[in-house]
Structure 1
């Protein structure tokens, strides 16, 4: 299965489009050099793992191909995200968002994961995050953003990201060194309750089960950058101090956890046949 973006009139290319470059130039600080350097460094880390640890030439060739496809996805998804944020915020300068290193590193990693899932490379998630030195909890936060930004993902990729999402929710985010615990401590030491993060309609609906990006989330609003850094420009309105309580990454995480728990309980009940 090819994972190179399809459907554009122009042939996919490794690099920012003219439209994305124009949006970069509209920023008070053009982020293109930093973005290119970060992408090159992360793809190099990925390739080094295969050069140092894998002797199979075919696997090395697949890794190189993955890097090329991941770069194409990265610039395409980044363009969609930038366009959406400019429209949502009503401003043209979003350099404060583009300069949040953690967002961009997680986005590159997600684009690599998109390409890896279609290649017979000899490892499973979350090895990629170990190679790139990223926490699963941080990586998890970009999955929803990517699904919202890119409608052209193959069904197999969406299914794979759903499986990754569940792995993080059920176990990978809960390791002793996870950044999740810092956010729980900052939230008076506990995970938000289901009543705090889900509307009454959500609590009463027994069929909310999948990862598909939701169009209306009044209780938990996913915003680019809001959950990764409180140091972005004030003009972007992404300060952790000013954002609504229920728009934080921790509240989104809690909502996803409760949704997964509800689905697992319903599946268990159906399997046992008690009801």
Structure 2
């Protein structure tokens, strides 16, 4: 098993839900971003989602768009994001890292070269939001062949006819987008999310992790109670955008993780 499967096996054995955090690689600069990422496991993060900055992040709200712009302005690139993973792996060979982003930078790097570099750096999974299942030959299947999980998003508009296609080559976990819209746009309600999670879990043995709009420990607990875990991104990125210190950001993350783990 890879790191993601190992992580969920351990959490299941401990009777705990997963807490997944998102940060944008290179925001506000390489050194600060790396130091925050290094501190995430100690703050209770089970899986790290590392954002790959891109000029046209269509699925992201203003908070993450601005984070990407700051990272790009600071010189962050795909190669530097992979180096960030290598630097992290020098001290942590256990915590799963999922790179989340868009296909254009990967395509420009070259798919085969990217997958080789990602595997060597220590990337465990990919979330590429602008590649639908119909394009699995482009990146999904080659990634799976290299032992890199390809994590697919399901949304409130993914109906029963579409769901099998979405799940077809998904591995690692299923990321359920709790609201219709962009990241950080609204707060999810567990009563609305629960039947959707149950519908997905009836069709797959993969863990279902819920994200978008979770901002507080209470919300993290409420969502984790009805899923296999939760993701927080925009709220953490906003703390960094507000100039909070590394320790203050990690304290904020710790509270969210404790909320999810108390579910």
Q: TM-score, normalised by structure 2?
A: 0.29
Higher helix share: 1
Higher strand share: 2
Q: TM-score, normalised by structure 1?
A: 0.28
Higher alpha-carbon Rg = 1
